């Protein structure tokens, strides 16, 4: 996978608040990749598999992160339920013939 550099700025006081002893700056790139992947997944910009790839994790490990954060890995909408119920009815009718 080819990569591109992503740069952004943060307010200086916020950056200064991240004390080097906090450990955040150790592995900051990986932590920010995970945050970006989570945000893009939540906003529906990328799929679960692509989010895991962006986070640099196997899918199962990324799903564990989602579970720890109480973020659903799969969104099942009312529309999806209605479609499934309609399919079940059609299937039952066909099976009874």
Task: Give percent helix, percent strand, percent coil of the chain, each to the nearest 5.
Answer: 65, 0, 35
**At residue 21, does pLDDT exceed 60?**
no
Give me the numbers of helices (H) and strands (E) for the chain, helices first please: 5, 0
Give the tokens for residue 86.
């309609």
Cβ atoms 52, 58 nearer than 8 A? yes
pLDDT tens, residue by residue, 43-94: 989 999 999 999 999 999 999 999 999 999 888 788 888 888 998 988 888 8
pLDDT at 54: 94
pTM: 0.69
**At residue 16, does pLDDT exceed 80?**
no
């Amino acid at each position: 996978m080819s990569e591109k550099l992503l740069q952004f700025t943060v307010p200086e006081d916020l950056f200064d608040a991240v004390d080097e002893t906090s450990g955040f700056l150790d592995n900051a790139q990986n932590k920010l990749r995970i945050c970006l992947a989570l945000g893009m997944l939540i906003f529906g910009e990328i799929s679960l598999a692509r989010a895991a790839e962006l986070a640099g994790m196997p899918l199962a490990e990324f799903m564990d992160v989602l579970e720890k954060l109480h973020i659903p890995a799969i969104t099942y909408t009312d529309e999806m339920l209605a479609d499934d119920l309609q399919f079940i009815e059609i299937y039952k009718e066909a099976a009874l013939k």
